[in-house]
Chain A
Amino acid sequence: MVKKCLILLLSIAITSLLIGCGGRNSSNDNSSGYDISIDAGSTALGETNLVVTVKDQSGIPINDATVNIKGDMVHAGMSPVLGESSKGDSGTYTVPYEWTMAGDWILSVDVILSDGTVISEKIDFSGVGGDDGDMDHDDMDMEDE
């Protein structure tokens, strides 16, 4: 009885792993060719405006999209900070935002196009709340991951 139970449980565990290796939907994968970049302005703790630039595959600015941002600390479980903008100007969207904690952040950017297509991108922001609060522009303007 014990042997059967153990074999059953181990089988469940192994099968689950094998099934898991078969794949699943993957979100936040920007393979659309759209260019999404962020200018954070400042990474000092506190409020700031994130300027998100969206361009299509041809480099043409997109103005009629909605931009949602979810900022997470790298540590699991920290409260995310959300921001949104639906008004673009020359492909740029200004998203009010707040760096609530020092450390390494990952911003998940969802750009919802007028036809409902969602383009997602994750962008790292390391060392938020550092000494001078100024960002290295190379860190801010990131191409597709």
Chain B
Amino acid sequence: MTIYRPTPQIDVLKLPLIGRLLRWRWGRLVFQTILLLVATLLLYDGFTGPQFAPENLSTVVTWIHYRGIIVFGFLLLGNIFCMGCPFTLPRTLAKRLAIRGGRWPKMLRNKWLAIGMLFFFFWAYEYFDLFASPLLTVWIIAGYFIASFVLEALFEESPFCKYVCPLGTFNFVSSTVSPLQITVSDRDVCHTCTGRECINGTTNIGVPGNPVKQGQGVISLDSIQVLGCGTELFAPQIDSNLDCTMCLDCARACPHDNVMLGVRNPLAELNEGVWSQRWDLSFLVLIFTFSALGNAFGMVGPVFQLEAWLANVLKVQDEALPLMIIFGMTNLILPIGFGLLVAWLSRTLARREEPLRTTLGRYAPAFAPLAFSIWLSHYGGFHFLGSAAAISPVFKNFMWDHNLFFLGAPDWTKSAIVPLNWLDPLEMGAILIGLIASLYVLNERGKRAPNRRDKTLAQLPWMLLLVGLTIASFYIFYLPMEMRGVSFTG
């Protein structure tokens, strides 16, 4: 088994202007400030503006632009939202208030809670019709600020990002197919590094740092008094974007200027990386994949018929339980059940004697490209390409509400940014590319199986599952959409 160590040809941190901005001590603060201002605007409009989702900035920006921009961000760059996440802006303040010594409980130092939060988030999105409610949408945003601050204040590390945040969980898995990754330029430097500032930080925040001697000189002020990696990743050991918020604190903290943001083959991590073969990580990828279908399924006609049928059977009037059952099936039971079944078949066909967890862990990462492509089609294609221009009339309407008319009257016909008849081919094309990438990763991981490569027969159950998921996604995407938000007829 080879350990994936990228050899980046390009270091984004060395690029003119953008590289300097990213490495600048306050570089992240710039992005966070911009997003904080956006968040403030959303909070303002959500609390005080029209409680009408298509005309409120909070719902339009959150459910159309945020989701669309981040998925294209993963495709072209990396985890750009977590990089500028405004929810972690109070982190430094929380650190000051922190009751020192608080470590995140050991039993929660895994992805099970994150999986639960992700599941709950998708369920809540449908149950509370968040997409139709500006007020609920901004309460979610406010809740994020509060939860992040509280957890940051109570615990030493950043448990909110790593173990709790459903957005972060979504972003972490998506960024495994991104072309950028944190790494180091010279591992020998790390071997002799005693301070390990990339993870420890340079000094206690607020205390003037002691400039670190480096070679012939003293390092620049840009790299002192900064926190280390919030999620406690050690830069030379990073072989995955999982858990990396791309905050670049590591790069700013490194006194040796040895951390780089390298450009890599987007599939390199999945092909060659040694993912920890943990149940939680494997199921996270599978649940992320099935949730892509479950989330899309929540917006087509049959789901409402199924809900109504379940409501009649269960004799309930509320949507909560039927929706919980449906999402529990599509987003939890099916991925876990299929994962175990297919892993068992694969192990049997490979004639291996190894824990099922190992077989599952070997192939689960292969689902990431297909999963991401389905999310990309849904969030980036259908919602963003199909609706992004709506920001123009909504913002103009917002200005008109405040007697600011210089932008002109809102033109409500603006919505799509590509011809609508392009969407289906683009979405289907993206999913097909995702399938091909997943099959490629599957084969590569089969080649790298320990002792001997897995034959195609051993990969066949995984292939069938990938193809089946693709067909299911095509079916769901071609079903007429139904935008329910106020009615449930149980």
Q: Which residues of A contact B (CB under 8 A)?
A: 2-3, 5-6, 9-10, 12-13, 16-17, 19-21, 23-28, 45, 70, 72-80, 82, 101-104, 106, 122, 124, 126-127, 129
Contact = CB atoms under 8 A, between A and B. Distances in A.
Given A20-B45, A82-B413, 15 more contacts: A6-B92, A17-B47, A20-B44, A21-B47, A75-B53, A75-B54, A75-B132, A77-B63, A79-B415, A80-B415, A101-B481, A102-B483, A103-B482, A103-B485, A104-B486
A27 B50 contact: yes
Residues of A contacting B: mostly: mixed
A5 B33 CA distance: 10
Contacts of A45: 480
A106 B52 contact: yes
A27 B41 CA distance: 19
Contacts of B63: 75-77
Given A16-B44, A25-B401, A9 B33 contact: yes
- Of the candidates A25, A104, A129, the one having the most CB atoms from chain B within 10 angstroms of its own CB is A104
- Of the candidates B62, B484, B489, the one having the most CB atoms from chain A within 10 angstroms of its own CB is B484
B390 A76 contact: yes
Contact of A104 (B33, B96, B386, B487): B487
A43 B49 CA distance: 29
B29 to A, nearest CB: 7
Contacts of A13: 36, 39-40, 43
A78 B383 CA distance: 8
Interface string B35-70: 011011101110111101111100110111000000
A9 B36 contact: yes
A102 B62 CA distance: 23
Contacts of B132: 74-76, 104
Chain B interface residue bracket vs A: 35 or more
Interface in B3-41: 26, 29, 33, 36-37, 39-41
Contacts of A19: 44
A23 B402 CA distance: 10
A141 B46 CA distance: 29
Given A24-B49, A24-B401, A103-B484, A77 B92 contact: no
A21 B383 CA distance: 30
